[in-house]
A and B are shown apart, each in its own frame.
Chain A
């Protein structure tokens, strides 16, 4: 049996998505910018994609921009807005637990003369609204807060943050990195005072290389990619028609059974947490105190620290049974350095190196979870026996 529990790193593409994209690549392969029929056919796929997201997010189709992925969306939102609004101020706010796509863009902004405030989080990974309120200033041009933390699954109070930001300073823009949250939660930018929102295709069963950025129609933003003027001159480059249509198709399929899927994911998560607690020396990260069933956290991410077991070794031990998980997060796993998120949550040295992330998808079955639990019951005691002395 192969059990893929690394869906926060990437997901399997839905067959319907692959099918649609194959058709677009092999038959309807025109360039939407071409004047002929072949171009128009391609353009219709793009329109379909924009309309799909507009409907799902309850926004206007003119506010949807396709990018090469979550990283570009985050870069575009932060750099584009900072540049377009720098006469109003040079202060940006974000959190200490953002994805590197936001964190490193913010560090770049610091290097070119902006000031950035990194909000701390509490022991379960949530940012404090009081702290946000304290840090807001007249010259704060953008606040960027992620929707769902990719390492522990903590949900940020984006709705409350949006209201707070607009109350404090109506000119301050609010960007939400929803790469992990999109498809797992209903996010309506207009109701939540969100001005910009990033999402990524390959986290929702579409391929890598496609993402989107919602940009509210009143938002002042400059392009960071220049060229032929596609996408209302905000994001040049020949439109990725198969990517955009594929991502739209995936979102459509995902939202078709949204309620039951999310319910099932929470059930999976609850069951997994309950069973994994039967092991000794296990700590589940990011749970809100008093809500040990995972209420108020993402439905698909469980972060577990196994005392006395190195996460990399456990990862490879599970791999021997064809179970695929992540040590920390995939983006952090290639560089053996402790996770910034877990550190910001106040985790201590040895546990930092003993943390595994399990992330589920609509494909995850109860049987797979049982198989994984059996492997863990089997391997954890063995691995604890052989540790560095």
Chain B
């Protein structure tokens, strides 16, 4: 029945002279998302709107599912488009449309028509009134409410006549790429994919870095991170995932530094390495899944210690979230099931029984000097052996 979609977008509308940049990015992201769907689609801007038109057969459910993942879309309206074959024919089409879309018709409605083609024989107000009458006659259980109708039936008279009433909510946010690029520290847990998703939703393209510590973390743990990146990439497009071998750095810290500070110092090096790659690849910030107080390394004191090693801003979108709230988003975006697979990540391998919760930055800095002899060399090797995986949902 439906042959096209009208795409509604919220914030882009208010972007002034930059507006076309955002619209073009949205068109680009929609085209990218629809590549995964069966069928050919024409995506175009016209009179301040974006339309997705299917050329021939297409899978409706699949298409909607893909559009629901495109940031920047606030609503998806499935549209029925028909040739203009006279008003009577239009009445029949509208009656049939209501029967199809609303099995339960105990509802109020309002007809809202627009006449872009001004030579159409009836004026908009006339079309509204006449169609309203036809609908009431066909479905006596329905009634008109012009202030707060359950169904707002839109009739657009252009070359063709477009009918739509349903709005499927989109994810909101802004088209990926309009906000620059950031580097996500991806661990394999529940939080970091969600953090990446939330920042990407603001139009930010994602790169990611994962710290691999064989033999303490397995190939399955690494595969799990790739799988998570792939799920996030359904929303963000391709993700460049940097896999850094971290074992030697981790063992060196283990050898030279107080055990309670191991996790903090390790995280400081992760931030440094992530920032290094970020700067080289044009990222404008780092993203982590930290949330205040969740674990010892995420207390406010600990965050001072991990934050101070970076110049780039560190975005922590989950900072005020409870675990349950994070889990809800993880479930919504489909990363939860993968995140809870039981493979050890490198943060838990050597974690102390009682890690510091209120690290003193001065002590941490002093203890880091224990590493002076070899750490630069180890970091250099880690950066040189960076394995780049381009992750994309195909």
> Which residues of chain A have a CB within 8 Å of any CB of chain B?
312-320, 335-336, 386, 388-389
User: Are B350 and A319 touching (Cβ within 8 A)?
Assistant: no
Nearest CB of B to A149, in Å = 25
Chain B contact residue count (CB 8 A cutoff):
17
User: Are B254 and A320 touching (Cβ within 8 A)?
Assistant: no
Q: Which residues of A contact B217 (CB under 8 A)?
A: 316
B344: contacting residue among A312, A319, A386, A389, CB under 8 A = A312
A388: contacting residue among B215, B251, B255, B351, CB under 8 A = B351
User: Are B342 and A335 touching (Cβ within 8 A)?
Assistant: yes
- A336-B342, A389-B352, A389-B353 as given contacts; A312 in contact with B254, CB under 8 Å: no
Q: CA separation between A317 and B218, bound complex, in Å?
A: 9
For residues 5 through 61 of chain B, which have their beta carbon under 8 Å from a beta carbon of chain A?
none
* CB of B216 within 8 Å of the partner chain: yes
Q: Which residues of B contact A314 (CB under 8 A)?
A: 215
Q: CA separation between A314 and B216, bound complex, in Å?
A: 8
Q: CA separation between A316 and B350, bound complex, in Å?
A: 16
User: Are A386 and B254 touching (Cβ within 8 A)?
Assistant: yes
Q: Which residues of B contact A318 (CB under 8 A)?
A: 215
Q: Which residues of A contact B218 (CB under 8 A)?
A: 312, 316
Q: Which residues of A contact B251 (CB under 8 A)?
A: 386
Given contacts A386-B350, A388-B349, 5 further A-B contacts (CB under 8 A): A316-B216, A317-B215, A319-B215, A386-B254, A388-B350
| Closest partner residue, chain A, to B259 (CB atom) | A389
Q: CA separation between A315 and B221, bound complex, in Å?
A: 14
B215: contacting residue among A320, A336, A389, CB under 8 A = A320
| Closest partner residue, chain A, to B344 (CB atom) | A312
User: Are A316 and B214 touching (Cβ within 8 A)?
Assistant: yes
- A386-B254, A389-B259 as given contacts; A316 in contact with B215, CB under 8 Å: yes
Q: Is the interface of B mostly helix, strand, loop or mixed?
A: loop
Nearest CB of A to B378, in Å = 15
For residues 209 through 234 of chain B, which have their beta carbon under 8 Å from a beta carbon of chain A?
214-219
Q: CA separation between A319 and B214, bound complex, in Å?
A: 10
> Which residues of chain B have a CB within 8 Å of any CB of chain A?
214-219, 251, 254-255, 259, 342, 344, 349-353
Q: CA separation between A1 and B251, bound complex, in Å?
A: 27
Nearest CB of B to A73, in Å = 29
Q: Which residues of B contact A388 (CB under 8 A)?
A: 349-353
User: Are B214 and A320 touching (Cβ within 8 A)?
Assistant: yes
Q: Which residues of B contact A319 (CB under 8 A)?
A: 215, 219
Nearest CB of A to B258, in Å = 10
Q: Which residues of B contact A320 (CB under 8 A)?
A: 214-215
| Closest partner residue, chain A, to B218 (CB atom) | A316
| Closest partner residue, chain B, to A335 (CB atom) | B342
User: Could you show 6 A-B contacts with beta carbons less than 8 Å apart?
Assistant: A313-B216, A316-B218, A317-B215, A318-B215, A336-B342, A386-B254
| Closest partner residue, chain B, to A314 (CB atom) | B215
Nearest CB of A to B361, in Å = 23
| Closest partner residue, chain A, to B351 (CB atom) | A388
Q: Which residues of B contact A315 (CB under 8 A)?
A: 215
Q: Which residues of B contact A389 (CB under 8 A)?
A: 259, 350, 352-353
Q: Which residues of B contact A312 (CB under 8 A)?
A: 218, 344
| Closest partner residue, chain A, to B251 (CB atom) | A386
Q: CA separation between A312 and B213, bound complex, in Å?
A: 13
Nearest CB of A to B343, in Å = 9
Nearest CB of A to B385, in Å = 14
Nearest CB of A to B228, in Å = 19
5 tightest Cβ-Cβ pairs between the two chains A and B: A316-B215, A317-B215, A389-B259, A316-B218, A336-B342
Q: Which residues of B contact A386 (CB under 8 A)?
A: 251, 254-255, 350
Q: Which residues of A contact B219 (CB under 8 A)?
A: 316, 319
| Closest partner residue, chain B, to A336 (CB atom) | B342
Nearest CB of A to B342, in Å = 5
Q: CA separation between A317 and B215, bound complex, in Å?
A: 5
Q: CA separation between A388 and B347, bound complex, in Å?
A: 12
| Closest partner residue, chain A, to B350 (CB atom) | A388
| Closest partner residue, chain A, to B352 (CB atom) | A389
Q: Which residues of A contact B215 (CB under 8 A)?
A: 313-320
Q: CA separation between A386 and B218, bound complex, in Å?
A: 17
| Closest partner residue, chain B, to A383 (CB atom) | B215
- A315, A317, A320, A388: most-surrounded residue (chain B CB, <10 A): A388
Q: Which residues of B contact A335 (CB under 8 A)?
A: 342
Q: CA separation between A335 and B220, bound complex, in Å?
A: 13
Q: Which residues of A contact B351 (CB under 8 A)?
A: 388
Q: CA separation between A389 and B263, bound complex, in Å?
A: 13
| Closest partner residue, chain A, to B348 (CB atom) | A388
Nearest CB of A to B170, in Å = 38
Q: CA separation between A320 and B219, bound complex, in Å?
A: 11
Q: CA separation between A236 and B251, bound complex, in Å?
A: 57
| Closest partner residue, chain B, to A388 (CB atom) | B350
Q: CA separation between A313 and B251, bound complex, in Å?
A: 14
- A314, A320, A389: most-surrounded residue (chain B CB, <10 A): A389
Q: CA separation between A318 and B214, bound complex, in Å?
A: 11
Q: Which residues of A contact B344 (CB under 8 A)?
A: 312
Q: CA separation between A335 and B215, bound complex, in Å?
A: 18
Q: Which residues of B contact A316 (CB under 8 A)?
A: 214-219
Q: Which residues of A contact B255 (CB under 8 A)?
A: 386
Q: CA separation between A388 and B263, bound complex, in Å?
A: 12
Q: CA separation between A335 and B214, bound complex, in Å?
A: 20
Nearest CB of B to A326, in Å = 13
Q: CA separation between A336 and B342, bound complex, in Å?
A: 7
Q: CA separation between A386 and B214, bound complex, in Å?
A: 13
Q: CA separation between A388 and B348, bound complex, in Å?
A: 10
Nearest CB of A to B164, in Å = 49
Nearest CB of A to B259, in Å = 5
Q: CA separation between A318 and B216, bound complex, in Å?
A: 11
Q: CA separation between A316 and B216, bound complex, in Å?
A: 7
| Closest partner residue, chain A, to B254 (CB atom) | A386
Q: CA separation between A60 and B342, bound complex, in Å?
A: 47
Q: Which residues of A contact B216 (CB under 8 A)?
A: 313, 316
Nearest CB of B to A300, in Å = 25
